[in-house]
Every structure is written in C-alpha cells, then in structure tokens.
C-alpha cells in the first residue's frame, strides 16, 4: 500500500485550514463569490464528505463549483505530506501507473528535457505532485504498448502558443492522458496546462476516449 493512500488516509483537520487559507486569498478577487461563500458555510464533516467524494471521483454536480477549492486544498495537504517522505522509503505500486505515494492516478505525464533524466517520461500525480517514471510509448493506464495514438489540436496550439503537448490515447483500453514535452516548453505545468487545454479533452471525447486520471481542480460539466 502506498504510504499516504489517498482514499484510506485519515486526514487531519489541517486540510480544512488550507482550504480556508485558499478561500481567504481568493475572496478579494471577487471571483466565484457564490462558491466561496458556500465553502465557508460548510461544516468540517460536510467538507470531509465532499473531499472523500472528490478523491473517489464521485463529486456531485451540485458541488461542482466548490470542487476547485476543495481539490486545491487537498493538493496542498497531500503535497506537503509527500514532501516529508524519502525517496528510498518508497516502492512502486503493484500497479505501476498509480502514484507510489498516494495511490492516485496521474493527471498527465511529462517528458523531461534536461539533466540525466532528459528524454525520460514521468507520470505526475494529480494529488500529491509526485513524479514517477514510466517508459514512453506505453499506455499510462493499461500499460499496453500497442495501439497508442497521439493527438494534437493545431488551432488550440496556435491559441496557447505552443506545440508542447499531445494526448496519448490507447486503443486497447480507450483512455487517454496528456503528455507535456519540456524541451518545447520548460515551464509546462501538468495541472494548470491540463486545464488550459480542455479543448483537447473535447476532441478525445468526441473520438470515444475517456480520461484515465482526474484533474482535482475541475469537475466535468462545470467548465
Ligand atoms: Zn500522489
Ligand atoms: Zn491502455
């Protein structure tokens, strides 16, 4: 079992303090005022239930507007705990496509550009931000290495000003995950740029592929 198994881990109340910090930082911006007010009105048990649903991929449409704030607080909480672990203490999960720290699915993968790891592909945990190696040209869900296809979107690339990302889609399990190439964009942020390229998700959806890993800052249907 990974040391911080996301769905089993007994969270301390620290995560709700993180949540309130985020809400307080957002409030002066005046954005998403209604969602922020709703988050602040929730009791701690209600917030924990919403967090459990988010981690289980079962958030309701009614709480969709609150998901980005709850997700951001959980990322802070799990990322901070993950940073206290030593690499030597970690083992790969039985399923090598799951995060070795918290057992979550990756939000995206990155191909590194510099140093001894240049050219290697790392999966990026959508919850605790741990990165772990998975060979390229291999499905990040079913590990099959046949039937992979890479989709880009010329119009979207022009809009975002970069050709640094693609969707890696698998015809065996019909899932996809985005892959970011740091040699084309060293600043690529797998979580933020995943949200910035939602138009590619729509294309893949039209082609009958499903996302293999969630972005905890986004509730499908609220975009
Ligand atoms: Zn993780
Ligand atoms: Zn697959």
d(CA 40, CA 35): 9
Give residue 111 CA to ligand 2 midpoint distance, Å: 19
Three-state SS for 116?
helix
How do the domains of the chain map onto residue ranges?
Answer: 94-211
Other Cβ atoms closer than 10 A to 183: 13
Domain at 94-211: CATH architecture: Alpha-Beta Complex (3.90)
Beta bridge partners, 163, equal: none
Q: At a CB cut-off of 8 Å and minimum separation 6, what does 35 contact?
A: 65, 66, 68, 69
Q: Which two tokens stand for residue 95?
A: 């399923």
Other Cβ atoms closer than 10 A to 56: 10
Nearest ligand to the CA atom of 175: 2
Predicted local confidence at residue 118, as pLDDT: 93
- Comparison of pLDDT for 34 and 59, the residue scoring more: 59
- Average pLDDT of the chain? 90
Nearest ligand to the CA atom of 124: 1
What would the pLDDT profile of 153-189 be if each residue is shown by its tens digit?
765 555 554 568 899 999 999 999 999 999 888 888 8
What would the pLDDT profile of 120-163 be if each residue is shown by its tens digit?
999 999 999 999 999 999 999 999 999 999 988 765 555 554 56
d(CA 179, CA 168): 6
Give residue 152 CA to ligand 2 midpoint distance, Å: 18
pLDDT > 60? residue 70: yes
Nearest ligand to the CA atom of 146: 2
Q: Which DSSP string corresponds to 167-191?
A: EEEETTT-EEEEEEETTT-TT--HH
Give residue 159 CA to ligand 1 midpoint distance, Å: 31
Predicted local confidence at residue 163, as pLDDT: 66
Give residue 139 CA to ligand 1 midpoint distance, Å: 18
d(CA 127, CA 74): 7
Q: For 30-42, what is the mean pLDDT?
A: 85
What would the pLDDT profile of 80-100 be if each residue is shown by its tens digit?
999 999 988 888 888 999 999
């Amino acid at each position: 079992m990974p040391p911080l198994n996301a769905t089993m881990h007994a969270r301390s109340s620290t995560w709700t303090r993180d949540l309130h910090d985020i809400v307080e930082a957002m409030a002066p911006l005046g954005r998403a005022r209604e969602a922020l007010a709703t988050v602040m009105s929730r009791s701690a048990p209600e917030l924990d239930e919403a967090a459990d649903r988010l981690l289980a991929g079962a958030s309701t449409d009614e709480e969709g507007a609150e998901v980005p704030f709850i997700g951001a607080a959980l990322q802070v909480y799990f990322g901070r705990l993950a940073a206290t672990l030593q690499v030597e203490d970690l083992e790969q999960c039985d399923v090598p496509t799951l995060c070795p720290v918290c057992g979550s699915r990756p939000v995206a993968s990155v191909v590194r550009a510099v140093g001894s790891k240049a050219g290697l592909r790392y999966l990026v945990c959508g919850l605790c931000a741990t990165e772990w190696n998975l060979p390229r040209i291999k499905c990040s869900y079913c590990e099959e290495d046949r039937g992979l296809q890479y989709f880009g979107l010329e119009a979207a690339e022009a809009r975002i000003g970069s050709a640094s990302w693609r969707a890696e889609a698998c015809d065996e399990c019909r899932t996809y995950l985005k892959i970011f190439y740091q040699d084309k964009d060293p600043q690529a942020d797998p979580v933020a740029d995943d949200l910035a390229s939602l138009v590619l998700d729509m294309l893949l959806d039209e082609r009958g592929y499903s996302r293999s890993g969630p972005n905890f800052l986004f509730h499908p249907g609220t975009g």
